[in-house]
Amino acid sequence: MSRARFVLAELATGLRRNVSMTVAVIIVTFVSLTFVAAAALTQMQIGNLKDDWYDKVEVSIFLCPSDSSVPTCADGEVTAAQRDEILAVLNSDSVAPYIDTVYTESKQEAYDALQEQMAGTVWAESVTVDLMQMSFRVKLKDPEQYQVVADAVAGRPGVDSVRDQRQILEPLFVILQRATLLSAGLAAVMIIAAVLLITTTIRLSALSRRRETGIMRLVGASNLFIQLPFMIEGALAATVGSLLALGALYFGVRYLIEDWLANSLQWANLVTTDDVLAIAPWLVLIAIALAAFSSAVALSRYTRV
């Protein structure tokens, strides 16, 4: 169709006239979207780890052994009555809704577990069943609700200490969260730069073709028709930038994470190139939205009918 051919010809002229600016737009979108995607992938990684580990983590209520210095253990080893009382608290209406299961680990079981984990070390050889602690292993419906359980049982007679395994993981999540924030912050700065640059590029392009657009307006070309080549110019550059970002992430994840990190961190469920592909459409969409927004700003003043 002659209309499409015409737009394409105009587009080619525009791109040729603005090669260096177009390249700059491509680079800025490339970098900004890389940071956007890095933030997204880190969030996905956090999600993965939480899914994995929160299933396994439990709140451990350690009961008094025979020789504890904790005040609640002043009476010596936990009694059967105290145990029942603690269990009753866990089964009470205010606490039970948060709890999935409660498992009672006996001293013998704790001993066996230790022997298995520490087999061959001085620890395993020096310890006896009697030195071990009995505990309730509480699995929560929502691992974030640890405090409810802790508050209910901590300080009761017979309770030595309450420990939340989640707390061991928390520093890692904090690091990942901060990485996300850093990445998102850099992305925001780069996106501002991208918008400004795309706006300037389109504006320059429109200025350099003032003559043509002036005539178009006079002979009654529609607004869309006049603006389309410029919009496509911006969208095209931004899309190329987003594809470069995707390429960089794909290979980054492929070689750094899948091939290298995954080998040394086999216990963790790491992000994969599939995740990169999953966010790919969004990245391209963001690029196009950026370009569309910038064109709207740039063109509202320069090619208005």
Binding positions for other proteins, rule: CB under 8 A: 1-3, 6, 211-212, 214-223, 225-226, 305
The beta-carbon contacts of 275-281 under 8 Å, at least 24 apart in sequence, are 275/41, 275/44, 276/37, 276/41, 276/246, 276/249, 276/250, 277/250, 279/37, 279/40, 279/41, 279/44, 280/246
Q: Is 1 or 19 the residue whose CB approaches other proteins more closely?
A: 1
91 φ/ψ angles, rounded to the nearest 5 degrees = -90, 0
Contact 298, 206 (CB under 8 A): yes
Q: In angstroms, rounded to a whole number, what is the distance separating the alpha carbons of residues 162 and 135?
A: 9
Which one, 7 or 179, has the nearer CB to other proteins?
7
Q: Which is nearer to other proteins, 112 or 212 (CB)?
A: 212
Judged by beta carbon, residue 47 or residue 214, the one nearer other proteins is 214
Question: Least separation, in Å, of the C-beta of 218 and other proteins?
Answer: 5
Note the residue count of the chain.
305
Look at the alpha carbons of 296, 299, 303, 305 in this order and tell me if their dihedral is positive or negative.
positive
What sign does the dihedral 279-285-290-293 (CA atoms) show? negative
Q: Which helix (H) or strand (E) holds 142?
A: none
Q: Which is nearer to other proteins, 9 or 256 (CB)?
A: 9
d(CA 75, CA 62): 15
Least distance in angstroms from the C-beta of 252 to other proteins: 44
CB of 106 or CB of 223, closer to other proteins: 223
To other proteins, the closest distance from the beta carbon of 23 in angstroms equals 24
Say which residue the tokens 């071990």 belong to.
132
The tally of CA atoms less than 13 A away on the side-chain side of residue 16 is 7
Q: Which is nearer to other proteins, 5 or 56 (CB)?
A: 5
